[in-house]
Amino acid sequence: MQKANHQSKKAERRWPLRLVAMGLIGGASLLFLLLGKNASAPFLCGAWASSRSSATSLQLEAVLQYATSTVVPQQSLGEISVTFGVLRSLSPTNFLVFGLGRDSLMWASLNPHGRTLFLEEDPKWVHTVLKDAPALRAHTVPYRTQLSQADELMHHFRSEPDCSPHKSFLRGNDKCRLALNMLDNEVYDTEWDLIMIDAPRGYFPEAPGRMAAIYSAAVMARNRKRTGVTHVFLHDVDRRVEQMYAEAFLCKKHLVKAEGRLWHFEIPPAANMNSDFC
Ligand SMILES: C[S@@+](CC[C@H](N)C(=O)[O-])C[C@H]1O[C@@H](n2cnc3c(N)ncnc32)[C@H](O)[C@@H]1O
């Protein structure tokens, strides 16, 4: 009898606990049901809801590719982090990347729902990269320059009126050999918030070199109509030609960060078209 009384008292004490547990399970089930029905329910305006809805198929593809590949991007973590920081604050944004590589899926994934476009010199390499990552968007660019012409092209810039910062145009600019005049209209018609210059190749005399990419990025930044600056990232700044062209067109005064072999410039729109590049 005493034992029976003791057990019934124990059971009474457990009731509130059971009620709390049932309430929690019921509440959680309801929450999951609501989430399943409508991920953008108005009361779910916190970070959890937004991160849940922002995972893109490109990001999932990137996770799979990098998890199963031994080939990693050429830029270091420190260098990548500079661009990542800007993408994190601006994305979804317009991101133009010179060069397709093992890092392409990463760049596109770090700009979910944004516009990321790659400009690549080598059509065969475009085919190879897009075979594994068909969701990437890339245009082929037939450059008109060679690295061995870098010094001569700097003289050409000074003597050719159509290269002048006062004119500052790319589309249809056939006379200025530094102007990328062969791009798709999409490139000219988009205001690029970030421009990454990690191509074309510039490590042997016959390679196109980055002279035209640097000059053209500076022109795009100058011509910006939107508010804010254009973020330009230049890789391989340990090389003479990259340094010389960056100092002439991207300007030391616009350099905001140097990390490893990467320089980050913030270039404001040219308030006055009569001003020089730097
Ligand atoms: C200096 S690489 C930049 C590569 C990129 N940042 C990366 O991490 O992979 C620039 C150019 O090299 C060429 N390239 C890069 N990887 C290549 C590969 N595995 N095979 C052939 N060409 C390649 C492409 O033309 C590309 O635009």
Banded model confidence at residue 72, pLDDT cuts 50, 70, 90: confident
Q: Are residues 26 and 160 in the same domain?
A: no
CA–CA separation, 183 and 201 (whole Å): 18
Looking at the chain, list the stretches that DSSP marks H as alpha helix, in order from N- to C-terminal side. 2-37, 47-54, 57-67, 77-90, 104-109, 123-132, 150-159, 185-189, 211-222, 240-245
Pocket lining: 242 vs ligand 1, CB cutoff 6 Å:
no
Q: How many CA atoms lie within 13 A of 21 on its CB side?
A: 5
Alpha carbon distances (Å) from 30 to 40, 44, 45 = 15, 14, 17
Domain boundary pick from 13, 33, 51: 51
Ligand 1 pocket check: which of 70, 120, 122, 261 to mutate, most ligand atoms within 8 Å of Cβ? 122
At 103-133, the pLDDT tens digits run: 999 999 999 999 999 999 999 999 999 998 9
Do 196 and 94 lie in a common domain?
Answer: yes
Considering the domain architecture, whether residues 37 and 20 belong to the same structural domain is answered as yes
Q: Quick check: is 274 in a domain?
A: no
| CB-ligand 1 contact for 126 (6 Å cutoff) | no
47/59 same-domain check: no
Q: Per the structure block, which two tokens stand in for 160?
A: 């050719």
Residue 163 inside a domain? The answer is: yes
Whether 107 maps to a domain, the answer reads yes
Residue nearest to atom 12 of ligand 1 (CA): 201
Q: Per residue in 205-245, pLDDT tens? A: 999 999 999 999 999 999 999 999 999 999 999 999 999 99
Both 81 and 136 in one domain: the answer is yes
Residues 88 and 177 in one domain: yes
Residues 125 and 106 in one domain: yes
Closest ligand 1 atom to residue 120 Cα is 27
- Residue 208's domain is classified under what CATH number? 3.40.50.150
The verdict on whether omega for the bond into residue 200 sits within 30 degrees of 0, i.e. cis, is yes
State the CB neighbour count (10 A cutoff) for residue 220: 22
What mean pLDDT is predicted for residues 7-35?
A: 43
Distance 230 CA to ligand 1 centre (A): 24
Q: Are residues 252 and 201 in the same domain?
A: yes
Instruction: Check whether residue 90 and residue 8 sit in a common domain.
Output: no
Residue 128 belongs to domain spanning: 55-267
Give the mean pLDDT of the chain. Answer: 86
pTM for the structure as a whole: 0.82
What does the DSSP 8-state code read for residue 252?
Answer: G
User: Does 135 share its domain with 91?
Assistant: yes
In a domain, 35, yes or no: yes
69 & 29 share domain: no
Nearest CA to ligand 1 atom 7: 101
Number of domains in the chain: 2
**238-259: per-residue pLDDT in tens?**
999 999 999 999 999 999 999 9
Q: What percent of the chain has pLDDT over 90?
A: 76
Q: Is residue 276 part of a domain?
A: no
CA of 148 to the centre of ligand 1 (A): 20
Q: Is residue 141 part of a domain?
A: yes
Are residues 18 and 61 located together in one domain of the fold? no
Please report whether residue 275 resides in a domain: no
* pLDDT tens-digit series, residues 87-101: 999 999 999 999 999
For residue 272, tell me if it sits in a domain: no
Burial (Cβ within 10 Å: 0-12, 13-18, ≥19) of residue 120: buried
